[in-house]
Structure 1
Amino acid sequence: MRIRLARSPRIGPVTFHEALQHFGSAQRAAADLPVVPDSQIAREEASLARAGGQFVVLGDPAYPPALAALPDAPPLLSAVGNLALLGRPTVAVVGARDASLAGCRLAGDLSAALGGAGFAIASGLARGIDTAAHRAALTSGTVAVLAGGVDQIYPLQNSRLYAEIARNGLLLSETPWGTPPVARCFPRRNRIVSGLSAGVVVIEAAARSGSLITAHRAAEQGREVFVAPGSPADPRYEGSNTLIRDGAILLRDIKDILSVLGGSHCPAQPLGKPSRKPAGSVAAKVLAALGSVPTAVDELVRRCQVSAAVLAEVLLALELEGRLERHRGNRVSLI
């Protein structure tokens, strides 16, 4: 019933969560709200199955904990590929579509090195930086989040890369099968790219770009933002340099990422064997750092010295146990 509710017209992620909270269950919500028929869901599920994919519903064991902790977490994802990647610590690498050769080389080098340190690489399958990041992480693990349906290849020049990710990585989308990648879908896609990740790496972001949207959403979500600096005379770096001025972490090499997120001694796990930190010790740190006064999630990351993805998993567990309350501004407190 959650799938029917999630696919219903005028029920977006926030409305979905509010409906569950108000009615108590998807079954009760569906009784009072107009939801799509079973036949529509069956057709989409059959198309997804023929492509070797499946639905991942919020609350499923396979649903990524870091994403689940967001107030606007997508209630339903279509996935094609290796679902085990959703359990891996992840870093997003994003940047200009019209990237320079140097920018693409940096994206590839960082993605390969992060893959060797145990991280999956998330991006949006766009030209330029996204493409370079995905290609470099094909063997270690990469997640492509699509703006349209999971069957919609955009841009078409990445058709071969799309197929390689379907075989060796993971394709994700929150939009229904067959939905074209229209403009309004890209910002929603970007929040998933950052939401999956412990940190976001920005390479060559112009003043008005999707990469800046991803960086801003990452900051709102309590993720770390790492930015490669560039010449003030190059318009491809105008947004990047502004992010650094406004407090993002200046990125020189992979050590700047690993010093914040960890993983420098964490070898890449074979795909299908997620790497996780012991939950008990992390939970104890989080409980010791929390109190009745709301605390920012990014402050907890610093205090507890854990990645944002691991912290999100612990916070979700505490929330499900009824011990945690969420507040505006990505802050939490103990009940």
Structure 2
Amino acid sequence: MADGGETPGGGLGDEEWIAHLRLIRTPRIGPVSCAQLIARFGTARRALAAVPDLARRGGGPAPALAGVDLARREMERVAALGARHLFHGHPPYPPLLAQIDGAPAVLIVRGRIDLLDRPAVAMVGARNASAAAVRFARGMAAELGERGIVVVSGLARGIDTAAHAGSLAAGTIAVVAGGIDVVYPPENDALQYAIATQGLLIAEQPPGTEPRARHFPYRNRVIAGLSLGTLVVEAAPKSGSLITARHAGDYGREVMAVPGSPLDPRAQGCNLLIREGATLIQSAADVAEALGSIGGGVFARVGGYAPAPIAADPSDAERRRLIALLGPVPVPVDELIRLSALPPAIVQTVLLELELAGRLERHAGGRASVTG
């Protein structure tokens, strides 16, 4: 199943790993609900058995549970690729990533897992980057590697490619939007292979998944979650790079930006971030200084994460009270708890039931809305 024939992460039997993967690959079960189900029922096998009843309580049909054969085929395919699964809540899943809201329930990784134990910085930017920015990013990444800092990026054209190329010798992590065996963009075929053998390649989607537009925001949160901070080298005001930077800010990580000419649209996003409080970066020393100011605090929180158990059984009146507060506009879960005056465990249970019933959608920032 995993490298050397070991079970993924160790510590559990094959049946439980299969159940973990079935749970994760079941429609309507996202990272938040997967973590809550396992926290509530103790094992993935018991959680799978409970899904139909929870969906019924939420007022909808039960999702079609992913089959045993599907999970086994995925594990066999991952092993054949020289990769392995990392499951949330079990080493060696990256503890820094485990801190974020909606951390992936499973990662597929190929390469040097030891890189996850080193301090990391995300470096992102424009796909149509200027030649000067590409050269700067490559040099910056190489200097950061010399300082023992792992560079994380998304293997896209432009700044991402330069960041990986510059840091490959010292250690780089690439998070891809599709399957770990899918090369995108095509011209990065050789670079993706080099990262998988010399660095670390990470995917959240199953093997064979072609990257779609909806996958990139998920990838961006992983890039930010793996890193102590995110450095933006060039970016337009509404680019995916700024989304990654905002994720970093939401996670309590450092947000950094390289300033650029106000006459260049590709610099507007970076200049905007600096105006909003991002750290201005001109050298690798600036990055190291910025990360040092928060690194101890972030690492101090690592290792103590566990999803809060939700073992509450709401009454019909409590369900109605909470559902009345929900609508098509996403609302923070904390606000739902405050407005409903219900215990957090009750609120989380009702939201879980609604999600399994196909009536609730979860959004970034711990928000939720009803789907219809």
Q: TM-score range by the shorter chain?
A: 0.7 to 0.9
Unpaired segments ≥5 residues, structure 1: 263-300, 331-335
2:205 maps to 1:205: no
Match of 2:296 among 294, 303, 306: 306
Which is higher, the Rg of structure 1 or of structure 2? 2
**Please, what TM-score do these two structures have when normalized by structure 1?**
0.80
1:166-190 CA-to-partner distances (Å, cap 9, x unmatched) read 1101111111111110000000000
CA contact (8 A) 1:80 1:172 kept: yes
Deviation at 1:21, TM superposition (A): 3.5
Output the amino acid matched with 2:43: S
2:86 maps to 1:56: yes
Deviation at 1:20, TM superposition (A): 2.5
Which SS does the other structure have where 1:99 is aligned?
coil
1:231-275 CA-to-partner distances (Å, cap 9, x unmatched) read 11100011111111111101111121111223xxxxxxxxxxxxx
Deviation at 1:35, TM superposition (A): 2.6
Q: Return the alpha-carbon distance in structure 2 between the equivalents of residues 133 and 48 of structure 1.
A: 27
C-alpha spacing 1:176/1:314, structure 2 compared with 1 (3 Å) = closer
**Please, what TM-score do these two structures have when normalized by structure 2?**
0.72
Output the amino acid matched with 1:88: R
Deviation at 1:328, TM superposition (A): 5.9
Map 1:77-156; keep pairs closer than 5 Å.
77-156=107-186
Which SS does the other structure have where 1:306 is aligned?
helix
Deviation at 1:321, TM superposition (A): 12
C-alpha spacing 1:76/1:167, structure 2 compared with 1 (3 Å) = same
Match of 1:25 among 43, 54, 69: 43
Match of 2:201 among 162, 171, 190: 171
Q: Return the alpha-carbon distance in structure 1 between the equivalents of residues 334 and 170 of structure 2.
A: 36
CA contact (8 A) 2:195 2:201 kept: yes
CA contact (8 A) 1:62 1:87 kept: no
Q: What residue is the counterpart of 1:15 in the other structure?
A: 33
Deviation at 1:201, TM superposition (A): 0.7
Q: Return the alpha-carbon distance in structure 1 between the equivalents of residues 107 and 91 of structure 2.
A: 13
CA contact (8 A) 2:230 2:248 kept: yes
Q: Return the alpha-carbon distance in structure 1 between the equivalents of residues 283 and 263 of structure 2.
A: 22
C-alpha spacing 1:129/1:15, structure 2 compared with 1 (3 Å) = same
1:44-66 CA-to-partner distances (Å, cap 9, x unmatched) read 11111111101111122211010
1:134-183 CA-to-partner distances (Å, cap 9, x unmatched) read 01111111111011111111100100101111110111111111111000
Q: Return the alpha-carbon distance in structure 2 between the equivalents of residues 98 and 162 of structure 1.
A: 19
Which SS does the other structure have where 1:144 is aligned?
strand
2:21 maps to 1:3: yes
Q: Return the alpha-carbon distance in structure 1 between the equivalents of residues 23 and 303 of structure 2.
A: 27
Q: What residue is the counterpart of 1:181 in the other structure?
A: 211
Q: Return the alpha-carbon distance in structure 2 between the equivalents of residues 8 and 88 of structure 1.
A: 33
- Give the number of aligned pairs: 283
Q: What residue is the counterpart of 2:76 in the other structure?
A: 46
Which SS does the other structure have where 1:10 is aligned?
coil
Output the amino acid matched with 2:34: F
Output the amino acid matched with 1:158: N
Output the amino acid matched with 1:231: S
CA contact (8 A) 1:141 1:168 kept: yes
Which SS does the other structure have where 2:302 is aligned?
helix
Unpaired segments ≥5 residues, structure 2: 1-18, 52-63, 310-332, 336-364, 366-372
Q: Return the alpha-carbon distance in structure 1 between the equivalents of residues 301 and 271 of structure 2.
A: 29
C-alpha spacing 1:60/1:314, structure 2 compared with 1 (3 Å) = closer
Q: Return the alpha-carbon distance in structure 2 between the equivalents of residues 75 and 191 of structure 1.
A: 13
Q: Return the alpha-carbon distance in structure 2 between the equivalents of residues 223 and 3 of structure 1.
A: 30
Output the amino acid matched with 2:93: Y
